[in-house]
Amino acid sequence: MRTIVPVIIAFLSGMVMILAFFFDPEKSILGELEQNVLSWVTIVGGFTLLLGVVSIFRVNLIAVKRRHDGWGYKLVTLISILAMAIPAIIPSKLSPLFGTGTDSIYDWLFNYLDAPMMATMFAMLAFYISSAAFRAFRARNTEATLLLIAATLVMLWRVPMGEIALAYIHPDLPQAINTYIMGGINMAVQRGIIIGAALGAAAMSLRILLGIERTYLGK
């Protein structure tokens, strides 16, 4: 039963979503069933997020208690979770500092700690991407040389200083890069990747609907 019931639920839910796509939801019962399934997706997703937070808290708490390597960072993680969660859960009617509204503790922590840290992380990530691009874009053969030229033009086109330099060479060069490289070659490659990913997702969905793929059951 622990295996059969989840497989039946997955099959019925998937079939409802598939059939609702081909029929008018306003003229059939499938539209209402589709909305119910989507509502349950939201509910289950909310519980999944809560389970993830509890799991992170539990794992880091065990590491802090046992003084594992880097336990100080895990302690900071625990303090951060509590500092963000507790004031946000307390009703704002008790004090303007509680809740998630403007000028609350949650709002202050998000704007003055979380947002700057995210900006710093993405700024550092840009340097790692540049370093990886420098190692990858080497003119070893014809294909690599074309990739190097295209990547250099796109990177120059993406920054204001580079765009000015390209426009100084020829006024229509930035627009040509946007039209032929970004809107042509790049778009064609992206569509190929998306089509391949969609086919893979469809195949995996069929495996789940038919009960062949059962990794979501923990097996």
Q: What is the DSSP string of 108-173?
A: HHIIIIIHHHHHHHHHHHHHHHHHHHHHH---SSHHHHHHHHHHHHHHHHHSHHHHHHHHHH-TTH
pLDDT value of position 210:
85
Q: What is the pLDDT of residues 101-154, one digit of tens each?
A: 888 899 999 999 999 999 999 888 888 887 777 777 776 788 778 878 887 878
What is the tally of structural domains in the chain?
A: 2
Q: Is the pLDDT of residue 80 over 70?
A: yes
Task: For residues 73 and 1, state if they share a domain.
Answer: yes
The answer as to whether 203 is a domain residue is yes
Higher-pLDDT residue of 217 and 180 is: 180
Find the domain containing 186 and state its range: 137-219
What angle, rounded to 10 degrees, do the helices at 4-22 and 30-65 form?
130
Q: What is the pLDDT of residues 42-51, one digit of tens each?
A: 999 889 998 9
Mean pLDDT of the chain: 86
Task: For residues 2 and 75, state if they share a domain.
Answer: yes
Please identify, among 89, 104, 120, the residue that sits at the C-terminal boundary of a domain. Answer: 89
Q: Is the pLDDT of residue 170 over 80?
A: yes
Model confidence, pTM: 0.62
Which has the closest alpha carbon to 84: 116, 117, 55, 113? 113
- Asked if residue 14 lies in contact with residue 205, where contact means CB atoms within 8 angstroms, the answer is yes
**3-state class (DSSP) for residue 66:** coil
Read off the pLDDT band of 1 (50, 70, 90). Answer: low
The answer as to whether 75 is a domain residue is yes
Number of H helices, E strands in the chain: 9, 0
Q: What would the DSSP string read from start to end of 70-120? A: THHHHHHHHHHHHHHHHHHHS-TTT-TTSSSSTTSHHHHHIIIIIHHHHHH
Percent of the chain at pLDDT exceeding 90: 27
CA distance 32 to 38: 10
DSSP designation for 178: I
What angle, rounded to 10 degrees, do the helices at 71-89 and 30-65 form?
130
204 Cβ contact list (under 8 Å, min separation 6): 213
- Asked if residue 217 lies in contact with residue 3, where contact means CB atoms within 8 angstroms, the answer is yes
The answer as to whether 101 is a domain residue is no
Q: What is the pLDDT of residues 189-205, one digit of tens each?
A: 999 999 999 999 999 98
Read off the pLDDT band of 4 (50, 70, 90). Answer: confident
pLDDT value of position 139:
67
Task: For residues 74 and 150, state if they share a domain.
Answer: no
The answer as to whether 166 is a domain residue is yes
pLDDT value of position 191:
95
CA distance 16 to 38: 11
Q: Is the pLDDT of residue 217 over 80?
A: no
CA distance 176 to 188: 16
Please identify, among 89, 118, 148, the residue that sits at the C-terminal boundary of a domain. Answer: 89
Q: What share of the chain is helix, strand, coil (3-state, %, to 5)?
A: 80, 0, 20
Instruction: State mean pLDDT over 210-219.
Output: 78
CA distance 76 to 208: 40
